[in-house]
Chains A and B, each alone.
Chain A
Amino acid sequence: MLQYVVRRVLIAIPLLIVASILTFALTTAMGDPLADWKLLKARTPAEVASEYHRIGWDRSPPQRYLDWAGGFVTGDWKTTIIPGNGTQDVRSEIGRALGVTLQLVIFAEVIALLLGMAVGALGAVRQYSPFDYAATGAAFFMFSMPLFCVAVILKFAGIQLNNWLENIGAGRWIVTSGPPRDGFSGGLGHILYSYSGAFVLPVLSLVAIQFALYSRFQRASLLDTLNADYVRTARAKGLTPARVVVRHALRTGLIPVITVFALDLGLLFGGAIITETVFGWRGMGALIVDAITKKEPWMVQSWMMITAIVIVAFTLLADIVYAYLDPRIRLG
């Protein structure tokens, strides 16, 4: 097992190096970071040259890449460099944003995964039952909606709900503009109340999409296993259906779901762009939109790199879990 893990990690390293070069090429293609600054007013060549020197653009792209890569592995991710954008430390900014986004994403993923697996499994066991049809219909419906529409509609509905809650004297529970800035305080009840109020809408909008995916995968893979020979044998031997499902089928049926979970991470980071924009959270999504708009090269570069690392790490983790769960895969 250890050997397998080590080998997989070693494969991931060259992949990440190539990814860093590719992302660097993309970032470089965004163009001259000083383009907007130079348009602000007429400047002397000496001014322009000194500004290029300040941001390190007097060096060739390969040199800049090596500069950045050397800094990145040693923890110096450089700062924002566009004039007027200050000199924010890229690493601490990404760290902060990643924290915000992970809170959202983990919440949403756990709920979606549990809900999806439960509904999917039930749908598979009761295939073609009214429940199955309803679940399938619901999943397909959610599948077919653009994420930003879900977010926009949810937000609209949330405010209506608040108006209604206030009318019956329950106060305004749902918050539409991000988490409380000073953190959560007060008694446990109050913390729960304000915490759930801040999270419910963005989490729900991410769940809506992911839930559909997981429930469909769980249903399909459980159907596959239920039809597999060893499960039939177990059934033929007279085991109760519940026992067959839980003991034999569910474990194998989990595998594809785990894989999807890992592969989906990229989708979720992309989805965060939309969710965070609509709900005013300042996470990874908001950060990259801002950085791309301002053409902030090191922010964009390190953002893409850290996302790549997270995604590759999760894929790796999924492979390992996969190997662990599936007795048919031999390690070595």
Chain B
Amino acid sequence: MRGSGTWTGSPAGTAIRVLGLVAVAALSLSACGSGSGGTGSGGGDVNQGQDLKPGAIGALDQPFSRPKVPDIGEVRVALDEGFQDYNNNTGAANNIANNYLLGLVIPSPYFEDADFSLKIDKDYMESVTVKSTTPQVIEYRWRPEAVWSDGAPVGCKDMYLAYLANANAVIKTGVNPFDTQGSGFDQISRLECSPDGKTATVTFATPFADWRGMWSMVAQGGNQLLPAHVLEQKTGIPDITKVGMADSPDLRRAAAFYTKGWNDFNADVDLSAGPYLIKSSVRNQQAVLVRNPRWWGNPGAPSQIDTQAVTDSQGAVQALLNKETPVIGPQADPTIAEQVRAGGDFEVFARGGQTYEHLDFNMARPLFRDHPELRNAVAACINRQDIVDKLVKGIDPKIRPLGAFTINPNESGYVDHYQGIGTGDTAKAKKLLEDAGWRLGADGVYAKGGQRAAFSVGHKLVDRRAQTVQLMQASCKPAGIAIGDAGQESFNDQQLPAGDFDTALFAWVGSPIKSSLIQNYVSKDKGGVANYNNYSNPQVDDLLAKTNTELDYTKRLALFNQAEDVMAKDMHSIPLFQLIDFSASDRAYAPVSYLLPVGGVLWNAFAWTKQP
């Protein structure tokens, strides 16, 4: 394990003991700072991430603060997509690329650290305290120094605006004028601001298990805090906290500014309350971050971060190899990774991330709906290890086939539910089919009752997916199962949401905010809007619904694992592998790594160091 590796966790190395959810998280500032600080020593891989011990269950609510680091001057960074809109909350604007920069700009009660755990950001918060669980009451106390870049305080008012935008009563009557989709807000019964505006007390009508994501960047869509005082100034509303949930002219005015006023980039209204502020932006091409003069915490290491959108991974790697751009965060494939590793002067970070590739059986098609033995036979004949070896290992040598959908192997609580599945076991596949009455036809393909064990795999035209299909074809052919390639450029936009496929090969983006995954797996009539393969099992519906209200984190993870178990038995979908979070940098820079959904390669830019 080269490199200091301190970016992985607290230098004190002492995990706070499991305190359960009711843990009072008001810990002292000095004890465990620097979640991502430390100095790297150059050369080679820093992919020890795969060895990372997931944050212990219940270890949430540890404190985090930005470390003290020396100035490293200006840094150029290549991103796979450029910055676009300051307000990333609206459905119209929402794009992960905005989060690359906004993580360094927007205040947020919780910070996602390298081990995917959520920590209380002590640069912003004095404390986040669970006052009561029945009813659920959370108290947020903002630090008095926390201000926006124009000097106005960060606090309860900004939280109220997000609450108003996500929970206003008009949503229930039809139109949401704010165009946001943050979850949990409609379960709030009361949000009270202290007279100094620095404390917010939130009371929930019904328990909401993912409350840590609320008002935090990590939960995305609707949760990003915005400078509410700017909205007040621009709309003439004297006090936004006095605007009620019911429809009113003020509400409409606020919504109009909320959806339009913070689009694109405009230095006058797009304020920062983070270590950096956006100095300039050419939409989706380049953006420049400089240190925020009003930042009260430890100043970030780079004096300026010059980001450029390089959509072509090969272009990004060549810019790195040619020493034009010292830090890159491209979409990786083995070719990309090998080039950087062979380059000599560069450091690679690669680790299985939140996004996972999987093969879905369309449960609305009789071939799969009525034949679990065929689903299991396919799951037996494909060779997941071989697919991982050939297509992913080149990026991250430590990656293994994936064993769950809702919890990733680098998170606490992960259990492999698919051991022994997808090992290229031809004999097992044949036996499964023959035991269920399938007979091998003259064409070398099994058939039963007029149906052949033949289907196609729909996917977007991506080289890796076409290769995955070819490897499946090759390993299932000897088992008498014929697989066709139905790759199309438009697959993810058209065929997939329409359910127009036999099987679908695509990826879902996971998150520490687990409630976002539920809509992928519950029945369509239970809110499964992204359940494209028409899977339906009341048991899973029930278990996943429970996870949304279970406030005990350990119990909640157990519920997820029970649901995973049922799904593994049903075999409606086969998890293949995690896509790899990848970044590469000139060896002088450390510790450069990659984390989603906030920041990407920039997630810990404030803590980078540079060797002379």
Contacts from A to B (Cβ < 8 Å): 35-37, 39-42, 44, 46-47, 50, 83-88, 155, 158-159, 162, 172, 174-177, 181, 277-280, 282, 290
Contacts and interface: CB of A to CB of B under 8 A. Distances in A.
Interface in B475-517: 493, 497
B388 to A, nearest CB: 28
Contacts of A277: 312
Nearest to B519: A41
A159 B264 contact: no
B91 interface: yes
B84 A177 contact: no
A176 B322 contact: yes
A47 B175 contact: yes
A39 B264 contact: no
Contact of B176 (A47, A85, A159, A172): A47
Interface string B69-105: 0000000001000001100000111110000000000
A280 B263 contact: no
Contact of A282 (B84, B285, B497): B285
Given A159-B322, A278-B315, A177 B310 contact: yes
Contact of A176 (B85, B181, B283, B319): B319
Contacts of B335: none
Contact of A83 (B91, B323, B493): B91
A206 B93 CA distance: 37
B321 interface: yes
B322 A174 contact: yes
Nearest to A38: B497
Contacts of A279: 315
Interface string B157-174: 000000000000000001
Chain B interface size, as a band, is: 20 to 34
A155 B176 contact: no
B318 A159 contact: yes
B575 to A, nearest CB: 24
A227 to B, nearest CB: 49
Given A159-B318, A177-B315, A278-B315, A41 B175 contact: no
Contacts of A290: 284
Contacts of A181: 286, 308
B324 A175 contact: yes
B547 interface: no
Nearest to B306: A181
A86 B308 contact: no
B318 A176 contact: yes
A279 B319 CA distance: 10
A242 to B, nearest CB: 46
B318 A84 contact: no
A41 B92 contact: no
23 contacts: A37-B91, A41-B91, A41-B529, A42-B529, A47-B175, A83-B92, A83-B93, A84-B84, A84-B85, A84-B95, A88-B283, A159-B322, A162-B322, A172-B322, A172-B323, A176-B319, A177-B78, A177-B318, A177-B324, A181-B286, A278-B312, A280-B310, A280-B312
A176 B315 contact: yes
Interface in B296-325: 308, 310, 312, 315, 318-319, 321-325
Given A39-B497, A280-B310, A86 B84 contact: yes
Contacts of A175: 322, 324
Contact of A37 (B92, B95, B285, B319): B92
Nearest to A289: B311
B597 to A, nearest CB: 16
